[in-house]
């Protein structure tokens, strides 16, 4: 029997049941998943390249004690996809990637582990560029740098861009002002009651911008000493982490964890705006994005408003310039405003609006890349012909 050239969709789905990993990659539209194993050095890492239409995939490496492979794979797939959208909406010529190292960052770090990871990154030949993420510090990146040039987020003393948190905070501040403009007709945050969840790196810089503008601040953290010293510095009121959602505020700024906007917390919120740095803020994007729209709460999509950190490390690739990174991060104001306007005009959640705008840029760039130039690569017969001519 002649092989059929058309694949029956039902059959194809049945067949895919036997390939759960490929099915997962297809469902998120990923290009590549790399498993890196060096048992003697304690390395169990996974690198995910989501989409390289816009350029090499850039995204941090996270070290976390995942309970199993499935958890780690789910996280790296979700995070790397987020990076594609973050780069696209920020106007960067970068694709989306991310890596995870399975392990406890307090106990299992070593030079050998990070250098081995660096070798695997190098082996991808620039398809993936790494940086810091949760559980990773500058020293670890210096070890990675010993084995590969495909690394960013290095200390300023060796020509890197340093800690990205201040630029992330600046972008969040700009995005928050854009939300205020939409909700209140003015982007001034003077006198606005703003709650901040988390007293970490980003919050510390953000709280200073907000306090300088005259906002009334409420801050919480699970660590009392951290929150107390920040609150004293910026003149904020310390609140219990459990009370943060129900506070009577104009703006809630999640700057700690993901998944904090969910069935339970939405019913407690009284704010007009959610604008913070945390990634994957919506527990379920579709469901909770729609719920916020129904509750008339303006939500600044996480990957748009927190893109300052990516903008900062991306500028390292061209030779770091702090002013240029700041100028680029200030554009988050206009991007958030465009998204809020699109969302209003189309009566659609803000996350849908930002996804549409990001996907449009990827699609258009994909088309541009198809236009032949002398840099284009030939393959097969035409390639041979071309190579013989030149």
- Where along the sequence are the contacts to ligand NAD (CB under 6 A)? 164-165, 168, 197-203, 220-223, 226, 241, 255-257, 277-279, 306, 309
CA separation for the pair 110, 104 (Å, rounded): 11
Query: Which C-beta is closer to ligand NAD: that of 25 or that of 307?
Result: 307
CB of 261 to ligand NAD, least distance (A): 13
Total length of the chain: 390
Rounded to the nearest angstrom, the gap between the alpha carbon of residue 25 and the centroid of all alpha carbons in its chain is: 19
Residues 6+ apart with CB under 8 A from 116: 36, 38, 41, 43, 147
The answer to whether 52 and 273 are in contact (CB under 8 A) is no
Nearer CB in complex with ligand NAD: 293/313: 313
Kindly tell me which of 130 and 165 has the beta carbon lying closer to ligand NAD. Answer: 165
Quick one: which of 130, 146, 136, 250 has its CA closest to 190? 250
Pick between residue 262 and residue 365 the one whose CB is nearest to ligand NAD.
262
Q: For the CA atoms of the chain, what is the radius of gyration?
A: 22
- Token pair of 322 as six digits: 């702090």
Name the minimum Å distance from CB 167 to ligand NAD: 7
CB of 224 to ligand NAD, least distance (A): 10
128 CB-near residues (< 8 Å, 6+ apart): 47, 49, 56, 57, 58, 59, 97, 99, 121, 150
Give the nearest residue (CB) to ligand NAD.
Answer: 200
CB of 27 to ligand NAD, least distance (A): 24
Q: What are the residue numbers of the active site?
A: 98
């Amino acid at each position: 029997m002649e092989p059929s050239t058309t694949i029956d969709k039902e059959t194809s789905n049945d067949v895919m049941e036997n390939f759960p990993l490929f099915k997962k990659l297809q469902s998120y539209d990923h290009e590549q998943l790399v498993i890196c194993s060096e048992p003697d050095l304690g390395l169990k890492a996974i690198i995910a390249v989501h989409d390289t239409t816009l350029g090499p995939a850039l995204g941090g490496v996270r070290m976390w004690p995942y309970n199993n492979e499935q958890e780690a794979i789910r996280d790296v797939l979700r995070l790397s996809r987020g990076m594609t959208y973050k780069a696209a909406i920020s106007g960067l010529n970068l694709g989306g990637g991310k890596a995870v190292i399975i392990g406890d960052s307090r106990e299992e770090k070593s030079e050998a582990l990070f250098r081995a990871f660096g070798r695997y990154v190098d082996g991808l030949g620039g398809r993936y560029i790494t940086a810091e993420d949760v559980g990773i510090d500058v020293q670890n990146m210096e070890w990675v740098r010993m084995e590969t040039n495909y690394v960013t987020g290095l200390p300023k003393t060796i020509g890197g861009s340093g800690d990205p948190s201040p630029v992330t905070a600046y972008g969040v501040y700009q995005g928050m002002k854009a939300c205020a403009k939409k909700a209140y007709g003015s982007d001034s945050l003077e006198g606005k009651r703003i709650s901040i969840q988390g007293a970490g790196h980003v919050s510390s810089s953000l709280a200073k911008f907000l306090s300088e503008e005259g906002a009334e601040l409420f801050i919480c953290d699970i660590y009392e000493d951290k929150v107390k010293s920040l609150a004293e510095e910026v003149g904020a009121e310390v609140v219990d982490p459990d009370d943060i959602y129900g506070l009577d505020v104009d703006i809630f700024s999640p700057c700690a964890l993901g998944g904090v906007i969910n069935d339970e917390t939405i019913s407690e919120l009284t704010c007009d705006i959610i604008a913070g740095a945390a990634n994957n803020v919506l527990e379920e994007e579709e469901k909770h994005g729609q719920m916020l729209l129904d509750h008339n709460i303006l939500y600044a999509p996480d990957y748009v408003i927190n893109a300052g950190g990516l903008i900062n490390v991306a500028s390292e690739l061209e030779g770091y310039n702090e002013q240029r990174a700041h100028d680029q991060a200030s554009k988050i104001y206009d991007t958030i405003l465009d998204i809020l306007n699109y969302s209003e005009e189309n009566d659609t959640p803000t996350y849908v609006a930002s996804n549409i705008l990001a996907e449009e840029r990827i699609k258009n760039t994909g088309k541009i890349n198809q236009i032949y130039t002398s840099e284009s690569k030939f393959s097969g017969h035409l390639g041979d012909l071309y190579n013989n001519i030149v």
